[in-house]
Amino acid sequence: MLPIPSPFPIEYPELRVIGQRLSANLQPWRFPANTVYGHWINTTYHSRHRIIDRHAHPYYEGLIVLDGSADLITPWDSQRLKAGHALLLSPQVMHQWQTHDESCMYMAFSFDLELPRVTQHRQRWPRCPELLWTTWLLGEAVRAGQPDWAWHAHCYLGVIYASLLNTIDPPSKQAPDSTVPALLATRVDELVRADLSSPPSLEAIAGQLSMSVRHLTRRYRLLTGMTIHARLEAFRLERAAHLLLTTNLSVADIARMVGLTCASYFTRRFRQRFDMPPCTYRYKAQSVNQQY
């Protein structure tokens, strides 16, 4: 089977619609030793000569580069990734993107694992041309809209998730203690995300982890580069963006659901995070949907 030609045959606006439809119909994928809970699939386009701020996610982020190239910069090194490259970033891994003389488009699969896997950094991410075919077939299944489209999409996504999980190297047996800090950050994120409208206090979180508040906040910031409060707000804004795309709830109702009861503060923080106010974010997504 010949490789998918570059550029990727499905254009960026339609890929975004495909990602939104999949995100609204996700189901858990159960593998022999684990369960993948998919919660967001999105296509990202970086134009030429663009630097994305250094950031980290509280979830696993699998990426398949569909077209172009970009440098992925982590605390360890910088790698040039091109169409067909696949990688999986563990939670709390700081990274940023930089494009040069060409743009870059990739599809991101953000998910959680029932049994978190703590992994070491991979020196070189593999190039998997077959995943371009699988991603294209996934998009075609969604675009066709046949009665059994969700079943076909589920199968293709299972292949993609299995491939992404296989890209990570297991931790070295000589460094078993390295799993403890990452599991600490993951556990804190789980407690914070359990109820975004009324999250536990720092004292309650520290009590569950048998730590002092001071030690907890210092360790968490060292691991993630963020305070627990900043992470909570990031969770709230990501959840709000998802609700804007998948429900007809008012902006005020969504703000209350995610625990940001002051509408003006919510709008200001949302604009800072997504470069547009909530109403514009929803309108643009609906406009794209209507085109297809």
Q: Is residue 2 part of a domain?
A: no
17 and 138, same domain (yes or no): yes
Task: Give the model's confidence band at 104: pLDDT under 50 very low, under 70 low, under 90 confident, else very high.
Answer: very high
Task: Give the model's confidence band at 76: pLDDT under 50 very low, under 70 low, under 90 confident, else very high.
Answer: confident
Q: Is residue 171 part of a domain?
A: no
Cα 199 to its chain centre, rounded Å, is 22
90 and 145, same domain (yes or no): yes
Q: Which of 121, 141, 165 is the last residue of a domain?
A: 165
Determine the average pLDDT of the residues in 49-56: 88
85 and 210, same domain (yes or no): no
Angstrom distance (rounded) from CA 184 to CA 197: 22
CB atoms within 10 A of CB 15: 23
pLDDT of residue 138: 92
Q: Classify residue 177 by its DSSP letter.
A: G
pLDDT of residue 288: 52
Asked if the model's pLDDT at residue 34 lies above 90, the reply is no
Angstrom distance (rounded) from CA 265 to CA 184: 30
Full residue range of the structural domain in which residue 106 is found? 12-165
128 and 237, same domain (yes or no): no
186 and 275, same domain (yes or no): yes
Question: Out of 44-58, 230-244, 275-289, which region has the weakest mean confidence (pLDDT)?
Answer: 275-289
Q: Which of 165, 196, 215 is the last residue of a domain?
A: 165
Q: Is residue 6 part of a domain?
A: no
Q: Is residue 105 part of a domain?
A: yes
Cα 49 to its chain centre, rounded Å, is 23
152 and 222, same domain (yes or no): no
Cα 28 to its chain centre, rounded Å, is 16
Residue type, 138: L
Q: Which of 119, 146, 165 is the last residue of a domain?
A: 165
Residues of the chain above pLDDT 90, percent: 28
Distances in Å between the Cα of 85 and the Cα atoms of 10, 76, 78, 154, 167 are: 17, 18, 14, 22, 10
CB atoms within 10 A of CB 24: 12
Question: Out of 18-22, 36-40, 113-117, 222-226, which region has the weakest mean confidence (pLDDT)?
Answer: 222-226
Mean pLDDT of the chain: 84
pLDDT of residue 292: 47
Residues of the chain above pLDDT 70, percent: 89
Tell me the Ramachandran region of residue 35: left when phi exceeds 0, alpha when psi lies from -120 to 50, beta otherwise.
Answer: beta
72 and 161, same domain (yes or no): yes
Residue 227 near residue 217 (C-beta atoms within 8 A) = yes
Angstrom distance (rounded) from CA 286 to CA 143: 17
> Into how many domains does the chain fold?
2
pLDDT digits (tens, 9 = 90+) for 151-210: 888 889 988 998 898 887 554 444 444 445 557 777 888 888 888 888 999 999 999 888
37 and 78, same domain (yes or no): yes
132 and 183, same domain (yes or no): no
Between these two residues, 118 and 54, which has the higher pLDDT value?
A: 54
Asked if the model's pLDDT at residue 220 lies above 50, the reply is yes
Residues constituting the chain: 292
Of 25, 12, 60, nearest to 141 by C-alpha is: 25
Determine the average pLDDT of the residues in 92-117: 89
Asked if the model's pLDDT at residue 6 lies above 60, the reply is yes
pLDDT digits (tens, 9 = 90+) for 231-269: 888 888 888 888 888 888 999 999 999 998 888 899 998
pLDDT of residue 178: 44
154 and 183, same domain (yes or no): no
CATH number at residue 256: 1.10.10.60
Cα 127 to its chain centre, rounded Å, is 20
113 and 202, same domain (yes or no): no
**Cβ neighbours of residue 75 under 8 Å, at least 6 residues apart?**
94
Residue 126 near residue 85 (C-beta atoms within 8 A) = yes
CATH number at residue 100: 2.60.120.10
Classify strands 60-73 and 96-98 as parallel, antiparallel or unpaired.
antiparallel
Token representation of residue 193 = 């995300």
3-state SS class at 83: coil
